[in-house]
Amino acid sequence: MPSLKVNGRVYDVPGSADAPLLFALRNDLKLNGPKFGCGLSQCGACLVLVDGQPVRSCVTSAGAVEGQEITTLEGLGTLENPSRLQKAFMTEEAAMQCGYCINGVILRAKALLDQNPKPSEGEVRLALDGNLCRCGAQNRMVRAVLRASREP
Amino acid sequence: MNVQPTRRGIIKGAGALVIGFDIFNPAMAQAPAADLPGDLKIAPKVSSWLRIEAGGKVRLLVGKVEIGQGILTAVAQLCADELDIDMSRLVITSGDTRLVPDEGVTAGSFSMPNCGSAVRAVSADARQILLGLAAARLGSNAAALKTADGKITAPDGKSVTYWELVAGSELEVPATGKAPLKPAAARRYAGKSVPRIDIPAKVTGAPVWIQDLRPEGMLHGRVLRPPAYEAKLVSLDAGDVEKTAGVIKVVRDGSFVGVIAEREETAIDAVDALRRAAKWDVPAKSETQDTVHDWMLAQKSQDVVIKNTPSAAPAGASVEAVYKRPYHMHASIGPSTAVAVLDGDTMRIQSHSQSIFETSAAIAEMLGMEKSKVHGQHVQGSGCYGHNGADDAAADAALLARAVPGRPVRIQWSRNDEHKWEPYGSAMVMKLKAAVDAKGDITDWTYDLWSTSHGTRPSGKAGNLLAAHYLEKPFALPTPVNAGPPNFAADRNAIAIYEFPGQKVTTHFITGFAARASSTRGLGAYANVFAIESFMDELAHRAKADPLEYRLRYLKDERGRAVLQKAADMLGWKDWKRTPGRGRGIGFARYKGLAAYNAVAMEVEVDRSTGRIRVLRAVSANDTGEVVSPDGVKNQIEGGIVQSLSWTLKEGVRFDAAGVRSADWISYPILTFSEVPPIEVELLDKPGLAFLGTGEASQGPTGAALANAVFDAAGVRLREAPFTPAKVKAALQS
């Protein structure tokens, strides 16, 4: 029974330590941010931050991240009090179509901005290259990340 | 704009919970009314669409569903304007078979024309009814009353709210569809880019997705898909799996095998163990992605001439070309998911289906249940771009839920299942022939297309559901038909918009399948426009004419001409300076011949040493009639361009005798962030003109513009997508 520190709180999750972190987060902790996309570390929908670094939770076992700080989309902000990055995705210019990939995109962008607060467009694009979007909203997401980077 | 501001409200708005009024279908027993706008015809009662609810809320009920295209925001804009309320008062229920009008499938770029028009008209009707009630209440002339955010005020200052006026059945009256609409200047929302109502939840992790449903006692199911379409299960020893801790049940019905477990990871491990234990009879099949076009040409086809305008003078040289399209995947990022529960005698199914009514009916037939006992509710899923695995996952969930009455079962397909089992967009062959006079002008045009079906949606028939083929008492796939009027399905956009002296178009429809296929964004339009617009480019070059000017010789539709010219201007067509390795191309169509006008122009660079194509920038001009949400339309056009670039540069389902080989994102790659070019989209707004569907308008013109730009850059004509570096290099060397 792994013990996970998620968004600042510690939880004992009932599954096996070998089970994917994604299922512990979604099914046991009932978090909606990380998404199942491929289970193969190919699409980025399941991204979470572990000690600030982007990690694909579909191929990471829950036991492997015990004791580390796990941040999910919910940990960035709430409906009532969204983070600047989340706010930048909610403007008149929709930064998505369906939004299924948005969890991974926002968390990958968060890791980028934490490391490089004023990235160029090319740097944002490169950082997001491992996140797949099928709706074709890539340019809108890049603009949203750049908008967030300009906010104080 | 937060239309569903609470967590509870979001799930309600998504149609995920049964809400507090009677279980009935308001669309039932209403006679169709032919002269009403859009889908108001099928549910001509005001209360079928609108309820004035307690707490200062108004509920809007629609049959069309959110699939990431922003439709619920757009209809909310229309409703709030005509009813004269703040958008935050709206709560939307969509896609619930017991609560909303049956507006059919959310597809075909029909939602704004059919649902948007109905919502605008019925909201205006409701406002007139409320004004009438207020006039009586306030003792005033209705014409003298003013409305503002649900409050009606008389000239003497006395006022009453909608919520005070409606106590019961006031809106249970026929819609007229003729109530005066707000003048454009008086609208608060329509015509403006209002922030999408579903996005705040999506960026903060509030529950909005079908994957976020976790009803009490929910179990996790997985289905063991066969090794190939026609495989039959010979034997399965499931004993060890059934004894595994956490496995509730192995469900077997003929060749259909599923497992139900307490935990998702247990279900996944169990289905892997079942895969190892199962023995299948797999009939040999010989078609591959490379032979499928010859296979199609060799099939006995249903041949229908959909246009035949003989040329008075078909003189001149004959020019011919053949174009091909491979199978394309919808390739949703989120695999198909559904939750079902057998609750007493009712099967409740939550699904991201585009056709919740017809899918529920098909599932009822599969289960041998009465249609009224299968209650379908739409809940948002990952973008689908047509008929993907959503409906089949719903059928899977229902089959498993039937085995554990009272317990909700969630099915989430694996990536492998989604890639290999969704119904693809059909491969196609397009043969074009033109007679051309000495000046290079077209004197006659002949178009022949070959395709398998673009429509095997559930349509109320169990045989269209994947799982139903494998049951002990199987349901056979109904013989597909090339549905709709000419120019609609496989032949969508096959009739060129250009006015040639003669034009003959023949559809060769194949009822068999080399791979499972159904509706994928645009149906045949992508391939048909790709072929027509590429061939126009070939003929223009042959005539030593500018491809833009050449098209304008034959394009008489004024709205079309304006769009084509605008896209060219956006690219800087007239003053474009040629540089080595670079080229420009343009493509144009009016979607379906009756929806949005779209032109795409782009600039590309071709690396002759690697064969790699880089799209440097793309521009697009559009006339979609009256625009309700400019950003919503631009988003659809832009997304369509990116998806079409992905199709045309990279995609094609690979399959052979052993089955589908495109099983994940490595074996079926799509365009990535660093490959998406800068894109500019402009709209030629036409206030007061009908909404023209836009979601599928840009894919065909994009594919053609790309092929035309590659020809301009490198002198090679690519007639078969995908334009992979290997293919480009081979063409350059030949």
Number of domains in chain A: 2
Question: CB-based contact (8 Å) between B193 and chain A?
Answer: yes
Same structural domain, A112 and A146:
yes
Dig out the tokens for B109 from the structure. Answer: 């770029």
Residue B572, number of CB atoms within 10 A of its CB: 13
Q: Is the pLDDT of residue B15 over 70?
A: no
State chain B's mean pLDDT as an integer.
94
Question: CB-based contact (8 Å) between B19 and chain A?
Answer: no
In a domain, B307, yes or no: no
In a domain, B646, yes or no: yes
What CATH number should be reported for the domain holding residue B591?
3.30.365.10
Cα-atom radius of gyration of chain B, to the nearest Å?
A: 27
Same structural domain, B181 and B254:
no
Same structural domain, A67 and A91:
no
Minimum-distance CB partner of A98 among B68, B331, B664: B68
Which residues of chain A does B200 touch, with a Cβ-Cβ cutoff of 8 Å? 79, 82, 90
Same structural domain, B17 and B144:
yes
Q: Is the pLDDT of residue B294 over 80?
A: yes
Question: CB-based contact (8 Å) between A33 and chain B?
Answer: yes
Whether B328 contacts B424, CB under 8 Å:
yes
In a domain, B478, yes or no: no
Tokens 């829950």, residue? Answer: A62
Whether A32 contacts B10, CB under 8 Å:
no
Q: Is the pLDDT of residue B22 over 70?
A: no
Minimum-distance CB partner of A31 among B68, B205, B670: B205
B205: left (phi over 0), alpha (psi -120 to 50) or beta: left
Give, for B432, the enclosing helix (H) or strand (E). strand B428-436
How far apart, in whole angstroms, are the C-alpha atoms of residue A23 and residue A46? 10
Same structural domain, A146 and A106:
yes
Dig out the tokens for B699 from the structure. Answer: 């894919």
Same structural domain, B85 and B160:
yes
Same structural domain, B348 and B384:
yes
| DSSP 8-state secondary structure symbol assigned to residue B625 | B
- Going by their DSSP bridges, the two strands B659-660 and B232-236 should be labelled as unpaired
Q: Which of A47, A76, A105 is the last residue of a domain?
A: A76
Contact across the interface for B263 and A19, Cβ inside 8 Å: yes
In a domain, B474, yes or no: no
How far apart, in whole angstroms, are the C-alpha atoms of residue B565 and residue B567? 6
Contact across the interface for A39 and B201, Cβ inside 8 Å: no
> Three-class SS of residue B726?
helix
pLDDT in tens, B368-406: 999 999 999 999 999 999 999 999 999 999 999 999 999
Whether B667 contacts B652, CB under 8 Å:
no
**How many beta-carbon pairs below 8 A join chains A and B?**
186
Q: Which of A21, A42, A76 is the last residue of a domain?
A: A76
Dig out the tokens for B343 from the structure. Answer: 């609750």
Q: Environment class of residue A120 by beta-carbon count within 10 Å: exposed (0-12), middle (13-18) or buried (19+)?
A: exposed
Q: What is the 3-state secondary structure (H, E, C) of B1-41?
A: CCCCCCHHHHHHHCCCCCCCCCCCCCCCCCCCCCCCCHHHH
**For the CA atoms of A150, B3, B7, B12, what is the dihedral angle to 10 degrees?**
-140
Q: CA of A147 to nearest chain B CA: how many angstroms apart?
A: 15
Contact across the interface for A137 and B199, Cβ inside 8 Å: no
How far apart, in whole angstroms, are the C-alpha atoms of residue B363 and residue B462? 6
**At B656, phi and psi to the nearest 5?**
-155, -165
Q: Which of B147, B175, B206 is the last residue of a domain?
A: B206
pLDDT in tens, B529-560: 999 999 999 999 999 999 999 999 999 999 99
The three-point CA angle B715-B718-B724 to 5° equals 105
How far apart, in whole angstroms, are the C-alpha atoms of residue A84 and residue A92? 15
How far apart, in whole angstroms, are the C-alpha atoms of residue B449 and residue B455? 16
Edge-to-edge strand list for the sheet holding B50-53: B50-53, B57-62, B90-94
Pick the residue of B66, B203, B670 with the most A CBs within 10 A to test the interface with A by mutation: B203
Question: CB-based contact (8 Å) between A138 and chain B?
Answer: yes
Predicted confidence band at B2 (pLDDT cuts at 50, 70, 90)?
Answer: very low
Contact across the interface for A74 and B207, Cβ inside 8 Å: no
Number of domains in chain B: 3
Contact across the interface for B635 and A137, Cβ inside 8 Å: yes
Q: Is the pLDDT of residue B219 over 70?
A: yes
Say which amino acid occupies B260.
Answer: I
Same structural domain, B275 and B170:
no
Dig out the tokens for B90 from the structure. Answer: 């709206």
**What per-residue confidence (pLDDT) applies to B25?**
41
Same structural domain, A15 and A51:
yes
pLDDT in tens, B144-178: 999 999 999 999 999 999 999 998 899 999 999 99
In a domain, B314, yes or no: no
Contact across the interface for B67 and A92, Cβ inside 8 Å: no
Same structural domain, A94 and A42:
no
**What per-residue confidence (pLDDT) applies to B314?**
74
Residue B626, number of CB atoms within 10 A of its CB: 18
How far apart, in whole angstroms, are the C-alpha atoms of residue B401 and residue B403? 5
- Going by their DSSP bridges, the two strands B302-309 and B278-281 should be labelled as unpaired
Same structural domain, B515 and B594:
yes
Contact across the interface for A72 and B205, Cβ inside 8 Å: yes
B609 contact partners, CB below 8 Å, separation of at least 6: none
Q: CA of B331 to nearest chain A CA: how many angstroms apart?
A: 7
**What per-residue confidence (pLDDT) applies to B30?**
58
Dig out the tokens for B156 from the structure. Answer: 């003497």
Tokens 């595994």, residue? Answer: B244
Predicted confidence band at B315 (pLDDT cuts at 50, 70, 90)?
Answer: confident
Question: CB-based contact (8 Å) between B422 and chain A?
Answer: no
Largest Cα–Cα separation, chain B: 85
Minimum-distance CB partner of A139 among B665, B666, B679: B679
Q: Is the pLDDT of residue B209 over 50?
A: yes
Minimum-distance CB partner of A106 among B203, B664, B676: B203
Contact across the interface for B674 and A126, Cβ inside 8 Å: yes
> Three-class SS of residue A136?
coil
pLDDT in tens, B596-648: 999 999 999 999 999 999 999 999 999 999 999 999 999 999 999 999 999 99
- For residue B580, give its domain range: 428-454+489-733
How far apart, in whole angstroms, are the C-alpha atoms of residue B537 and residue B541? 6
Same structural domain, B134 and B183:
yes
Q: Is the ipTM of this complex over 0.90?
A: yes
Contact across the interface for B70 and A39, Cβ inside 8 Å: no
How far apart, in whole angstroms, are the C-alpha atoms of residue A89 and residue A92? 9
What CATH number should be reported for the domain holding residue A22?
3.10.20.30
How far apart, in whole angstroms, are the C-alpha atoms of residue A36 and residue A45? 6
Residue B41, number of CB atoms within 10 A of its CB: 18
| DSSP 8-state secondary structure symbol assigned to residue B683 | E
> What angle, rounded to 10 degrees, do the helices at B630-650 and B525-542 form?
70
Minimum-distance CB partner of A134 among B70, B331, B380: B331
Which residues of chain B does A72 touch, with a Cβ-Cβ cutoff of 8 Å? 205
Contact across the interface for B193 and A92, Cβ inside 8 Å: yes
Q: Which of A17, A45, A76 is the last residue of a domain?
A: A76
Q: Which of B152, B172, B206 is the last residue of a domain?
A: B206
Predicted confidence band at B312 (pLDDT cuts at 50, 70, 90)?
Answer: confident
What CATH number should be reported for the domain holding residue A89?
1.10.150.120
Dig out the tokens for B157 from the structure. Answer: 């200052």
pLDDT in tens, A34-47: 999 999 999 999 99
Q: Is the pLDDT of residue B11 over 90?
A: no
E strand spans, B482-633? 503-509, 582-590, 597-606, 613-623
How many CA atoms, within 13 angstroms, populate the side-chain half-sphere of residue B437? 11
pLDDT in tens, B338-369: 999 999 999 999 999 999 999 999 999 999 99
Q: Environment class of residue B690 by beta-carbon count within 10 Å: exposed (0-12), middle (13-18) or buried (19+)?
A: middle
Same structural domain, A67 and A90:
no
How far apart, in whole angstroms, are the C-alpha atoms of residue B641 and residue B703? 8
> B308, B327, B588: which is closest to B448 by C-alpha?
B308
Same structural domain, B678 and B707:
yes
Minimum-distance CB partner of B640 among A32, A94, A136: A136
DSSP B113-143: IIIIHHHHHHHHHHHHHHHHHHHHHHTS-GG
Same structural domain, A72 and A96:
no
- For residue A29, give its domain range: 3-76
> Three-class SS of residue B211?
helix
How far apart, in whole angstroms, are the C-alpha atoms of residue B201 and residue B10? 8
Which residues of chain B does A79 touch, with a Cβ-Cβ cutoff of 8 Å? 5, 7, 200-201, 204, 206
Whether B159 contacts B135, CB under 8 Å:
no
Same structural domain, A71 and A106:
no
Contact across the interface for A98 and B70, Cβ inside 8 Å: no
Q: Is the pLDDT of residue B16 over 60?
A: no
> What angle, rounded to 10 degrees, do the helices at B525-542 and B699-714 form?
30
Chain B, window 483-512: residues with a beta carbon less than 8 angstroms from a chain A beta carbon = none
Which residues of chain A does B664 touch, with a Cβ-Cβ cutoff of 8 Å? 38, 40, 42
Same structural domain, A88 and A36:
no
Same structural domain, A70 and A94:
no
**What per-residue confidence (pLDDT) applies to B628?**
96
Residue B617: beta bridge partners? B603
Q: Is the pLDDT of residue B20 over 50?
A: no
Minimum-distance CB partner of A39 among B200, B202, B414: B414
**What per-residue confidence (pLDDT) applies to B657?**
84
**What per-residue confidence (pLDDT) applies to B33?**
66
> B226, B707, B696, B672: which is closest to B474 by C-alpha?
B226
Q: Which of B206, B237, B265 is the last residue of a domain?
A: B206
In a domain, B173, yes or no: yes
How far apart, in whole angstroms, are the C-alpha atoms of residue B526 and residue B699? 6
Same structural domain, A63 and A14:
yes
SS3 content of chain B, % helix, strand, coil (to 5): 30, 25, 45
> B357, B397, B392: which is closest to B376 by C-alpha?
B357
Same structural domain, B12 and B140:
yes
Q: CA of A6 to nearest chain B CA: how many angstroms apart?
A: 14
Same structural domain, B103 and B250:
no
Largest Cα–Cα separation, chain A: 45
In a domain, B46, yes or no: yes
pLDDT in tens, B637-659: 999 999 999 999 999 999 998 88
Q: Environment class of residue B719 by beta-carbon count within 10 Å: exposed (0-12), middle (13-18) or buried (19+)?
A: middle
Same structural domain, A42 and A66:
yes
How far apart, in whole angstroms, are the C-alpha atoms of residue B505 and residue B494? 7
Same structural domain, B253 and B371:
yes
Cis peptide before B722 (omega within 30 of 0): yes
Minimum-distance CB partner of B643 among A23, A86, A136: A136
Same structural domain, B131 and B231:
no
Edge-to-edge strand list for the sheet holding B337-343: B247-253, B256-261, B219-224, B409-412, B337-343, B346-351, B374-378
All residue ranges of chain A with pLDDT < 70 are: none
Give, for B51, the enclosing helix (H) or strand (E). strand B50-53
Question: CB-based contact (8 Å) between A81 and chain B?
Answer: no
